[in-house]
Amino acid sequence: MTSARIVLWLNLTLRPSCSLCRAQFIKGQLQTPANPAAMENGTMPCGEKRPLEAQETTVTEGAAKIVFPSANEVFYNPVQEFNRDLTCAVITEFARIQLEAKGIQIKVPGEKDVQKVVVDLSEQEEDKAELKEGANVAPGDQPRTAAVGEICEEGLRVLEGLAASGLRSIRFAREVPGLRSVIANDASSRAVDLIRHNVQLNKVAHLVQPSQADARMLMYQHQRVSERFEVIDLDPYGSPAPFLDAAVQAVSEGGLLCVTCTDMAVLAGNSGETCYSKYGAMALKSRACHEMALRIVLHSLDLRANCYQRFVVPLLSISADFYVRVFVRVFTGQAKVKASASKQALVFQCVGCGAFHLQHLGKASGPSGGRVKFSAACGPPVAPECEHCGQRHQLGGPLWAEPIHDLDFVGRVLEAVSANPGRFHTSERIRGVLSVVTEELPDVPLYYTLDQLSSTIHCSTPSLLQLRSALLHAGFRVSLSHACKNAVKTDAPASALWDIMRCWEKGCPVKRERLSETSPAFRILSVEPRLQANFTIRDDANPSSRQRGLKRFQANPEANWGPRPRARPGGKAGGEAMGDRRRLLQNKRKEPAEDLVQRAARLKTFPCKRFKEGTCQRGNQCCYSHRPPTPEATAEATPTNCLETLNQNPPGPGATTGPGVD
């Protein structure tokens, strides 16, 4: 009886628990999809597919049409269309140069063939010329050509290390002639699946090969001379520093390396120690921070290439929007590598007036065409204190101190884009930027800005033409910079610039009594100028790109433009949630806008100072209060008068005095 009672008691006790577990198990089976892979591909548990517009988005850019998830699973930024257009133009001209040496001509859609013009020829001479031309050109001697979308056996092998949706690689295959193959690589399996889909959609499977691998390992596997790539394109999210060592080894002799950096906060001087850890240079907060960022990236590329007896030659370096983009060729040569130290320089920048001086790391001396001797440079070029304002110097760099553009190559790209403006959507901007690049002084690193010079001495700002004319009248060279629309790039020393600004200040004097004797403005203006500036406008002071009204500096292309959030599995950071987060954090450090009625009521609580003095003429329209002050407010506001009254009328015998009155 005892054992039977125990069994009955256990059944009654455990029955509710068993029912609960059975219910949870059945519920879990209903919620678990029959095919988990179907959920990843956008299929609902019952076999229904999500709406196409909620699952993916189609974008047409250039000659390519791509599909990518609406969520932030694969990175895509439409603002960088200028970057991709410029890259296609640069690679096209690079392919033209490379294939012309092999006797192959490329055919670019929209370009007109060069036509021969014959002038003042008689009919007999024309017939003879036609016969002679027909006799010289044999069927087997036809010039070889390379067209867009066709495989060129002697063409370029292109690697896009971080392809994301594959848009850039597909555009190469559909817009750049003379290619042998294009490898679109990405470490994300979701991105590679999307690349395969887009490759089939654009019918370029014969040229574009999707690849899923770590970009560094893929480039390390192509270090052999026979397996290297003629073109490597790196456009990562953030810094490309982890990929540079492998890239300089995987590019062929004289090959093209294209690198994008979007970590401008680091390169612009907000975190110098981080910049040193990534690029091997200290960045400074400067008005010329964008050009300094370009030169730091070039220094980092050359430094990594030197480890393998290689060196870089810049073709084009652009600072645009929120990123910098460099195009360099990589060569091998031990003798040229020895000259790399003389191409790098440190920057001494004054913290007061912003004057800067460059100190080269190495020195190359010797007769031209003879043996060159390399040695350490001598320095520093500045005293412990700035000679102009007496402030200390900051030390930045090393950075690339040689020209950052190949003007001949830039001229070829500019000519090709100008002759075929319908090829790219951003052709107008490419023309404007490249035109300013061709006008820059190639041998003058960094620049000053108009607002920097005028704000230092607290004077009004001269116009760009006035300052440029004054420098030209003084015998110096001057140009603009594509990195800043207010830039003044000149070979004039800082002393000449401050002499010109002193002469300008005499036309609209600054009140010296408002300046501190230790301020940079007081010390600069206390010295008389040794150079008499002439601000008469010169014809050559206005650059050609400015006269033609080219689009040199792009306005904001769209709302909330800039770097996009990093791609994440499942697109957790994209869509409307990211927009809501931006709106939530917008102006979070600012006070909310005040209503006009509330502002008027708040101002009425403050007494009008002019009404107290009897000089306010606004009457009831004054925004401040005209009420007579109360005795309590008068006692608090004028303790001196109260003290004088108490001294004149001493307290009586019944009055009490306290420590406040005494």
- Judged by DSSP in three states, 253 sits in strand
Return the pLDDT at 659.
Answer: 40
The domains of the chain are located at 446-548
Label the pairing between strands 208-212 and 179-186: parallel
Q: Tens digit of pLDDT for each residue in 453-467?
A: 999 999 989 999 999
Return the pLDDT at 133.
Answer: 43
Return the pLDDT at 581.
Answer: 66
Q: Tens digit of pLDDT for each residue in 489-510?
A: 999 999 999 999 999 988 888 8
Return the pLDDT at 432.
Answer: 92
| Contact yes or no for 281/396 (Cβ under 8 A) | yes
Residues 6 or more apart in contact with residue 156 via CB below 8 angstroms: 91, 94, 95, 98, 178, 179, 180, 230, 231
Token representation of residue 419? 């002759």
Q: Which of 2-11, 343-352, 482-491, 524-533 is the least confident region?
A: 2-11
Distance of CA 34 to the CA centre of its chain: 47
Q: Which of 412-426, 500-514, 577-591, 593-607 is the least confident region?
A: 577-591
Q: Cα–Cα distance between 113 and 288 in angstroms, integer?
A: 42
Return the pLDDT at 397.
Answer: 87
Label the pairing between strands 208-212 and 104-107: unpaired
Q: Tens digit of pLDDT for each residue in 302-356?
A: 999 999 999 999 999 999 888 999 999 999 998 899 999 999 999 999 999 999 9
The residue-averaged pLDDT of 75-98 equals: 87
% of residues, the chain, pLDDT over 70: 74
Residue 644 has pLDDT above 50, yes or no: no
Q: Tens digit of pLDDT for each residue in 92-149?
A: 999 999 999 999 999 988 887 643 333 343 444 444 444 344 444 444 556 788 898 8
- Nearest alpha carbon to residue 149 among 64, 250, 252, 251: 64
Q: What is the 3-state secondary structure (H, E, C) of 198-251?
A: HHHHHCCCCCEEEEECCHHHHHHCCCCHHHCEEEEEECCCCCCHHHHHHHHHHE
β-bridge mates for residue 342, sequence order:
none
What DSSP character marks residue 342? G
Residue 649 has pLDDT above 60, yes or no: no
Q: Tens digit of pLDDT for each residue in 5-34?
A: 554 455 555 554 544 444 444 344 333 333
Residue type, 332: T
What DSSP character marks residue 514? G
- Nearest alpha carbon to residue 197 among 88, 55, 44, 49: 55
| Contact yes or no for 328/308 (Cβ under 8 A) | no
Q: Which helix (H) or strand (E) holds 505?
A: helix 494-507
φ and ψ at residue 49, rounded to 5 degrees: -95, 145
Confidence of residue 597 (pLDDT cuts 50, 70, 90): confident
Q: Tens digit of pLDDT for each residue in 244-262?
A: 999 999 999 999 999 999 9
Residue type, 544: S
Residue 582 has pLDDT above 60, yes or no: yes
Label the pairing between strands 393-400 and 344-350: antiparallel
Q: Tens digit of pLDDT for each residue in 349-404?
A: 999 999 999 999 988 887 766 788 888 888 889 998 999 998 999 999 899 999 99
Confidence of residue 550 (pLDDT cuts 50, 70, 90): confident
The residue-averaged pLDDT of 84-95 equals: 94
Residue 640 has pLDDT above 60, yes or no: no
Q: Tens digit of pLDDT for each residue in 22-67?
A: 444 434 433 333 333 333 333 333 333 444 344 677 888 888 888 8
Average pLDDT, the chain: 80
Q: Which of 172-181, 406-415, 557-566 is the least confident region?
A: 557-566
% of residues, the chain, pLDDT over 90: 47
| Contact yes or no for 117/129 (Cβ under 8 A) | no
Residue 168 has pLDDT above 70, yes or no: yes
Q: Cα–Cα distance between 499 and 479 in angstroms, integer?
A: 19
Distance of CA 528 to the CA centre of its chain: 40
Return the pLDDT at 38.
Answer: 34
| Contact yes or no for 329/231 (Cβ under 8 A) | no
Return the pLDDT at 586.
Answer: 67
Return the pLDDT at 171.
Answer: 93
User: Tokens 């001087």, residue?
Assistant: 269
Q: Which helix (H) or strand (E) holds 363?
A: strand 362-365
β-bridge mates for residue 257, sequence order:
232, 328
What DSSP character marks residue 539? G
User: Tokens 């594509």, residue?
Assistant: 482
Residue 298 has pLDDT above 80, yes or no: yes
